A and B are shown apart, each in its own frame.
Chain A
Amino acid sequence: MDLLIVHLFIFVLAAFVGFEVISKVPPTLHTPLMSGANAISGITLVGALLVASHTGCVITCHLGFIAIIFATINVVGGFMVTDRMLEMFKKKGDE
Chain B
Amino acid sequence: MNPLVPEFLADYIPSLIHLSYLLASVLFILGIKRLSSPATARSGNRLAALGMFIGVAVTLFDREIISFQYIIAGILIGSVIGAVLARKVKMTSMPELVSMFNGFGGIASALVASGEYFRIAPQVFTAQELTALAVSLLVGTMTFTGSLVAFAKLRGIIGGAPVVYTGYKVVNTLVFVAFLVFTSLFFLDPGNTGLYLVLAGIALLIGLLLVLPIGGADMPVVISLLNSLTGLAAASTGFVLHNHLLIVSGTLVGAAGLILTLIMCKAMNRPLINVLFGSFGGNGVDAGLSGTAGGKTVKEVTASDLAVMAAYARRVVIVPGYGLAVAQAQHAVREVADMLEARKVDVRYGIHPVAGRMPGHMNVLLAEANVPYPQLFDMDDINKELPKTDLVLVIGANDVVNPDARLNTSSPIYGMPILNVDQAQNVVIFKRSLNTGYAGIDNQLFYADNSYLFFGDAKMSLEMLKESLKEL
Residue ranges of A at the interface with B (Cβ–Cβ < 8 Å) = 3-4, 7, 10-11, 14-15, 17-19, 21-55, 57-61, 63-92
Whether A46 lies near B56 (C-beta < 8 A) is: yes
Q: Does B73 contact A (CB under 8 A)?
A: yes
Contacts of B374 in A (CB 8 A): 91-92
Contacts of B246 in A (CB 8 A): 43-44, 46-47
CB distance from B253 to the nearest CB of A (A): 4
Contacts of A11 in B (CB 8 A): 235, 239, 247, 251
Contacts of A25 in B (CB 8 A): 32, 35-36, 256
Alpha-carbon distance A74/B38, docked complex (angstroms): 23
Residue in B111, B360, B364 whose beta carbon sits within 8 Å of that of A66 in the complex: B111
Contacts of A42 in B (CB 8 A): 52, 105, 108
Whether A34 lies near B112 (C-beta < 8 A) is: no
Whether A46 lies near B243 (C-beta < 8 A) is: yes
The B3-51 residues at the A interface (CB cut-off 8 A) are 25, 28-29, 31-33, 35-39, 41-42, 45-46, 48-49
Residue in A15, A52, A59, A83 whose beta carbon sits within 8 Å of that of B46 in the complex: A83
Whether B41 lies near A89 (C-beta < 8 A) is: yes
Whether B59 lies near A46 (C-beta < 8 A) is: yes
Residue in A26, A43, A48, A80 whose beta carbon sits within 8 Å of that of B86 in the complex: A80
Q: Does B390 contact A (CB under 8 A)?
A: no
Alpha-carbon distance A80/B70, docked complex (angstroms): 24
Whether A78 lies near B101 (C-beta < 8 A) is: yes
Q: Does B407 contact A (CB under 8 A)?
A: no
Instruction: Decide: A52 near B45, CB < 8 A? Known: A15-B254, A40-B253.
Output: no
The B217-251 residues at the A interface (CB cut-off 8 A) are 223-224, 227, 230-231, 233-235, 237-239, 241-251
Q: Does B163 contact A (CB under 8 A)?
A: no
Contacts of A17 in B (CB 8 A): 29, 252
Instruction: Decide: A7 near B115, CB < 8 A? Known: A33-B260, A68-B74.
Output: no
Whether A41 lies near B249 (C-beta < 8 A) is: yes
Q: Does B403 contact A (CB under 8 A)?
A: no
Contacts of A34 in B (CB 8 A): 98, 223-224, 227, 256-257, 260, 358-360
Q: Does B213 contact A (CB under 8 A)?
A: no
CB distance from A71 to the nearest CB of B (A): 4
Alpha-carbon distance A22/B31, docked complex (angstroms): 11
Whether A51 lies near B83 (C-beta < 8 A) is: no
Residue of A nearest to B41 (CB): A86
Instruction: Decide: A37 near B41, CB < 8 A? Known: A52-B70, A74-B105, A79-B52.
Output: no
